[in-house]
Every structure is written in C-alpha cells, then in structure tokens.
Amino acid sequence: MDSRNLRNTSGYVVVVGGMNMDIFGMPNQKVIERDSNIGEIGMAVGGVGQNIAQNLAHLEVPTYLVTVYGDDYNGTLLQQSCERNHISLEQAEEVRGSRSSTYMYITDEHGDMLLGVNDMAICDQITPEFLAKKLDFINQADICLIDANISQEAIDWLGANVTVPLFGDTVSVTKAHHFERVLDKMDTLKPNALEASLLSGVEIKDAATAEQAAGVLLDKGVRNVFISLGADGILCANREEMVHVPVFKTDIVNANGAGDCGMAAITWSRFLVPNRPIRETGQIAQAASSIALESTKSVPDITPEQVSRKLETLTILN
C-alpha cells in the first residue's frame, strides 16, 4: 500500500456521541465484600465517541465532537482533555446544573469487572432539537460518525437529515438496535459478530455465517460493512467485494480500546481516500487495532507513521 495515501488532507470529521469520565477501582487482593479493600483507584476520560475522536485527532484528522457535558469538576477535566488532544468542542454544549456522564466500575484482583455503575443521563440531552442547531456544520463535514450511545430518536433524526456519509459504531448488543431504522442511510457500519447477528437476524458462528450476515446488512441498505471477528480478523463487505482481513501479528498488552481505534482507522482511511478499496481499509483498521492492542492505554498514542510501518510489515497470522 502506498504510504502517501496515509497523509492528511483538508476537511473535517464530525463525531456525534458520548464522552464520560471513567472511575475505576482495582483491589490488590481477593475482594472482601461489604468492606474496604486496599487497591488502586484511577480516572480516565472515556466514552466511545470521545475515544474515536481522540484516535482520529492522533491520526491528524481535524475532528469535532458533538456531545454534552456538565458544569461540574468532571466537565472541566473532560474539556481540558479534549483541548490537549486537539478535539474541538466548538459544536458541543455545556449543560448548566447537570452532572457530566460518568462511569464507575470495580474489578476483582485479576482485573475482571465485578460491578459497574453508569450515570449517563446527560446523554439524553443529545436530542433532535439539539442536533438541529448543528446540522449546517455537520453537513459541511466529510464524514459524520455516530456512536450508538445516543438515543434511537437522535440517530433516526440524523439519518433523515444528514447529507454527508454516515458512519456508525454499534457500541454494544444492548445499543446496536439504535441503528435498526437507518441502515439504509448508513455508508459504513462496524459491528462485532454479536451486534451483526442482532441487526441481521443471522447468528454468526463462523466465516460463512459472517458473510451471510454481511449480505443481509447490505440488502438492508448499508453500503460498507466491517464485521469485527476478534482473533479471526475482520470481514469487509460491499457490493463489489467481500473479503476477510486477518489479524496482524501482535503482542497483546491491553484489549481495551482496539475496537474504537479500528473504527477511527476506517474513518481516517475513507476521509483520506473516499473510494479506497475495502480490502485496504480493512488492512488499515487491523493495523491500527494491532497498535492499540500493544498499548497500555485505552486510546494509544497512534500516528500515521506507526500505521504505515505496521502495514509495511504485513506479517499477518493465517
């Protein structure tokens, strides 16, 4: 692949989705219920929309995050993080008297989650009325990317009113159905196997059933489908081609964040070259996901040069 096709260009991408403060506790030893446990407590800026926006900004894409945040301490931290990472909040809004979206979880001594509490009610403020004020700006972007953390009503409205290519991240099995009524409006959709099974009605068990599910989603109107199959790679499909792109050889450090990085890379790939062959976009997505898996951070310090070097190796597991 010509690395010159990984260079920056003019234009911008709008991401519509969630941004939250993640607070986590990790005990050092076996958990003692209903008691104080010695361990580590940390905070990190998260949210699928924010994570994708941050990856895009690291890949030198001018990125605007359309979201909401509160006028609380966490809201200040979220704003500062976006500024550091060159994510524009020019089209976002601070909601006075509201708590910023926050997610808190406790793990066991091995790092597996025991309990999570999400306080994301502020995301309900991303309404059609809120989005209507941003529509002219959104429709001047190269791409509008939606994460399924916003309501089905808001996604339906975007599907009906946005004229630029719509990209979607289905987020989870619980939220993937938010895209059900706008599949015929979607230029690009990236579900995992479970989410694709839900949206297509085809239970994905292997490569053949993944292809069947992709075919159903194409029949429903999605122009480009990328089904993440974990260790089995990614299935990339459109009306011209259906290809499996395997994973890159990777020394896995942290599995958290690879999906968001892959979604950002798909968007970046098409931002630079709108008609790029789907196989190449899949390879770029897998290269970026590999970089994320090798990072200790949920959002890696990814650069176009890193992706280019990873692609040059093309040391791929069969």
Which domains are delineated in the chain?
9-164 (3.40.1190.20), 188-318 (3.40.1190.20)
High-pLDDT (> 90) share of the chain, %? 88
Give the model's confidence band at 9: pLDDT under 50 very low, under 70 low, under 90 confident, else very high.
Answer: low
| Rounded Cα gap, residues 307 and 11, in angstroms | 21
Average pLDDT (115-123) is: 91
Give the model's confidence band at 314: pLDDT under 50 very low, under 70 low, under 90 confident, else very high.
Answer: confident
Average pLDDT (135-151) is: 97
Per-residue model confidence (pLDDT) at position 316: 46
| Rounded Cα gap, residues 75 and 302, in angstroms | 25
* Residue 2 pLDDT exceeds 70: no
Average pLDDT (163-173) is: 97
Q: List Cβ neighbours of 102 (8 Å cut-off, separation of 6 or more).
A: 20, 21, 22, 23, 74, 118, 119, 120
Average pLDDT (22-38) is: 94
Give the model's confidence band at 29: pLDDT under 50 very low, under 70 low, under 90 confident, else very high.
Answer: very high
* Residue 262 pLDDT exceeds 80: yes
Smallest Cα–Cα separation from 165: which of 182, 181, 141? 141
The pTM for the full model equals 0.92
pLDDT in tens, 192-251: 999 999 999 999 999 999 999 999 999 999 999 999 999 999 999 999 999 999 999 888
DSSP helix/strand/coil, 170: coil
List, edge to edge, every strand of the sheet that includes 87-88.
87-88, 63-66, 13-16, 143-147, 166-169, 188-190, 224-228, 234-237, 242-245
**Rg of the chain, C-alpha, whole Å:** 19
